[in-house]
Amino acid sequence: MSGHNRKQIEKCRTFGIISHPDAGKTTLTEKLLLFGGAIQMAGAVKSRKVERKATSDWMDIEQERGISVTTSVMKFSYRDFEINLLDTPGHRDFSEDTYRVLTAVDSAIMVIDSAKGVEAQTEKLMEVCRMRNTPIITFINKLDRDGLPPLDVIADIEEKLQIECTPFSWPIGMGKNFKGVYNLYRKELQLFTASRQSRERSGTTINDLSDPRLDELLGSQADELREDIDLLEGAANPFEPAQFLNGGQSPVFFGSAVNNFGVKELLDAFVENAPCPGPRETTTREILPGEEPFSGFVFKIQANMNPAHRDRIAFLRICSGKFTRGMKVIHHRVGKEITLANATIFMAQGRTNVEEAYPGDIIGIHNHGTIKIGDTFSSKEPLKFTGIPNFAPKLFRRVILKNPMKSKQLQNGLTQLAEEGAVQVFRPRLGSGYILGAVGELQFEVTMARLKNEYRVDAIYEPVELADARWINCDERKKLDQFISKNQAGIFLDAEDCLTYLAPSQWHIGYVMEQWPEITFTKIREYV
Ligand code: G4P
* Per-residue model confidence as pLDDT tens digits over 375-402: 999 998 999 999 899 999 999 999 999 9
Of 22, 174, 259, best ligand 1 pocket probe by most atoms within 8 Å of the beta carbon = 22
For 29, residues 6+ apart whose C-beta sits below 8 A from its C-beta are 17, 45, 74, 85
Q: How far is the CA of 141 from the centre of ligand 1 (A)?
A: 10
What is the Cα–Cα distance from 4 to 78, expressed in whole angstroms? 19
Residue 242 and residue 192 in one domain: yes
> Strand pairing of 389-391 and 249-254?
unpaired
Residue 242 and residue 138 in one domain: yes
Q: Which of 213, 155, 165 is nearest to 187 (CA)?
A: 213
Residue 143 and residue 44 in one domain: yes
Model pLDDT for residues 460-486, shown as the tens digit of each residue: 999 999 999 999 999 999 999 999 999
| 99 close to 118: Cβ distance less than 8 angstroms | no
Q: Which of 58, 230, 225, 256 is nearest to 142 (CA)?
A: 256
Q: Does an H or E element contain 162, and which? A: none
How many Cβ atoms are within 10 Å of 252's Cβ, its own excluded? 23
Please indicate whether residue 49 or residue 254 has the higher confidence score (pLDDT): 254
Q: How far is the CA of 116 from the centre of ligand 1 (A)?
A: 13
Single residue among 246, 273, 300 that ends a domain in this structure: 273
| 414 close to 434: Cβ distance less than 8 angstroms | yes
Residue 205 and residue 303 in one domain: no
On whether residue 89 sits in a domain, the answer given is no
Q: What's the pLDDT score for residue 54?
A: 47
Q: How far is the CA of 259 from the centre of ligand 1 (A)?
A: 10
What is the Cα–Cα distance from 203 to 209, expressed in whole angstroms? 15
**Ligand 1, atom 15, residue with closest C-alpha:** 24
Phi and psi angles of residue 329, each rounded to the nearest 5 degrees, phi first: -135, 160
On whether residue 120 sits in a domain, the answer given is yes
Per residue, the 3-state secondary structure of 365-409, as one string, reads EEECCCCCCCCEEECCCCCCECCCEEECCCEEEEEEECCHHHHHH
168: alpha, beta or left? (left if phi > 0; alpha if psi -120 to 50): alpha
What is the Cα–Cα distance from 452 to 445, expressed in whole angstroms? 11
On whether residue 126 sits in a domain, the answer given is yes
Residue 28 and residue 171 in one domain: yes
Q: Is the pLDDT of residue 525 over 60?
A: yes
Report which ligand 1 atom has the smallest distance to the Cα of 28. Answer: 7
Q: Is the pLDDT of residue 109 over 70?
A: yes
Residue 497 and residue 416 in one domain: yes
Residues 343-370 have a mean pLDDT of: 84
Amino acid at 88: T
On whether residue 22 sits in a domain, the answer given is yes
Q: What's the pLDDT score for residue 207?
A: 78
On whether residue 439 sits in a domain, the answer given is yes
Residue 207 and residue 126 in one domain: yes
Where does the pLDDT of residue 90 fall: very low under 50, low under 70, confident under 90, or very high at 90 and above?
Answer: confident
Q: What's the pLDDT score for residue 41?
A: 53
Where does the pLDDT of residue 312 fall: very low under 50, low under 70, confident under 90, or very high at 90 and above?
Answer: confident
DSSP 94: -
Between CA 389 and CA 398, with CA 392 as vertex, the angle to 5 degrees is 125
Q: What's the pLDDT score for residue 68?
A: 57
Report which ligand 1 atom has the smallest distance to the Cα of 141. Answer: 23
Q: Out of 159-168, 208-217, 340-349, give the one with best mean pLDDT.
A: 159-168
Residue 284 and residue 269 in one domain: no
The CATH code of the domain that includes 449 is: 3.30.70.3280
Number of structural domains the chain divides into: 3
Q: What's the pLDDT score for residue 36?
A: 81
> Strand pairing of 468-473 and 520-522?
antiparallel
What is the Cα–Cα distance from 318 to 322, expressed in whole angstroms? 8
Residues 217-221 have a mean pLDDT of: 89
Model pLDDT for residues 222-239, shown as the tens digit of each residue: 999 999 998 888 888 999
Phi and psi angles of residue 366, each rounded to the nearest 5 degrees, phi first: -75, 140
For 511, residues 6+ apart whose C-beta sits below 8 A from its C-beta are none
| 277 close to 14: Cβ distance less than 8 angstroms | yes
The CATH code of the domain that includes 349 is: 3.40.50.300
Partners of residue 264 on adjacent β-strands:
none
Which domain does 287 fall in, by range?
280-378
DSSP 82: E
Residue 441 and residue 521 in one domain: yes
Residues with CB under 6 A from ligand 1: 19, 21-27, 49, 141-142, 144-145, 256-259
On whether residue 2 sits in a domain, the answer given is no
Single residue among 273, 302, 332 that ends a domain in this structure: 273
Q: How far is the CA of 133 from the centre of ligand 1 (A)?
A: 29
Across 31-45, 119-133, 482-496, least confident range = 31-45
Q: What's the pLDDT score for residue 58?
A: 47
Single residue among 378, 411, 435 that ends a domain in this structure: 378
Model pLDDT for residues 423-434, shown as the tens digit of each residue: 999 999 998 899
